[in-house]
Amino acid sequence: QVAAGLAAGYRLVDTASHYGNEGEVAKALKQSGVARGDVKLVTKIWYDDMGDRAAEAIRGSLARLDTDYVDLLLMHFPGSINSLQDPETNGRLRRQTWKAMEDAYDAGAARAIGVANFTRRHLKELLGSCRVPPAVIQMEVHPYFQQVELIEYCQSKGIQVMAQSPLAHGDLGLLDDRVLGKIAAAHGVSPAQVSLRWLLQLGLAPVAFSSS
């Protein structure tokens, strides 16, 4: 799918160590003939690699992606699966992980750093202790899950919101929504285009993905 996307004109590739496809992304980029500087690469640190394993995880992602840098490096989650049971440990893991990400940013291994799936509480905590503030937050946003307060908070802090799942999950039936259908018909476009345009007008950066 990466090769097909690049051939179709896509120039942002959103991957993660947890997806298990960083090597395939690297191969597709090489075979595409598209210059590395023309493609924005995003990858993420999985929660199993948070803390003192973060620096090694970053080096591993760069090696698998066969590149000296990524354009955006994200902390995939604000903590481990046991976050509710052990918030103190997760707070420490976040701080350690962010320090490794700041080091990667300083070294040029990450052109920008950010977070994913953070709440306002997590962001406030990070902004209160970080040296390099997050440039981006990736989170689920679509007409059925608007996250208005969190978006407003991020924008007030200069954090760009990257809208994950902008067309929602297929089982939610967003693209069959009657209101979206009426708006789409009135403007001669598709419901998907209406949803994406709404996100863009909010100042968000939607990242759509293939169902396959």
Tens of pLDDT, residues 66-123 = 999 999 999 999 987 665 568 888 999 999 999 999 999 999 999 999 999 999 999 9
**What's the pLDDT at 211?**
63
19 part of the active site: yes
**Which residues of the chain carry a pLDDT beneath 70?**
81-85, 210-212
Distance CA 130, CA 88 (A): 17
> Please, what sign has the CA dihedral across residues 91, 92, 96, 102?
positive
What is the structure's pLDDT at 212?
59
> 73 pairs with which residues across the strands?
43, 113
* Sign of the Cα pseudo-torsion (56, 129, 83, 112, in order): negative
Q: What is the pLDDT of residue 85?
A: 63
What pLDDT was estimated at residue 84?
55
Q: What is the pTM of this model?
A: 0.94
pLDDT at 157: 98
- Tell me what pLDDT residue 88 has: 87
Q: What mean pLDDT, rounded, does the chain reach?
A: 94
- Identify the active-site residue in 10, 19, 144, 153: 19
At 15, list the tokens: 């991957």
Element (H, E) at 178: helix 178-187
Q: What are the distances in angstroms from CA 98 to CA 43, 131, 163?
A: 14, 9, 22
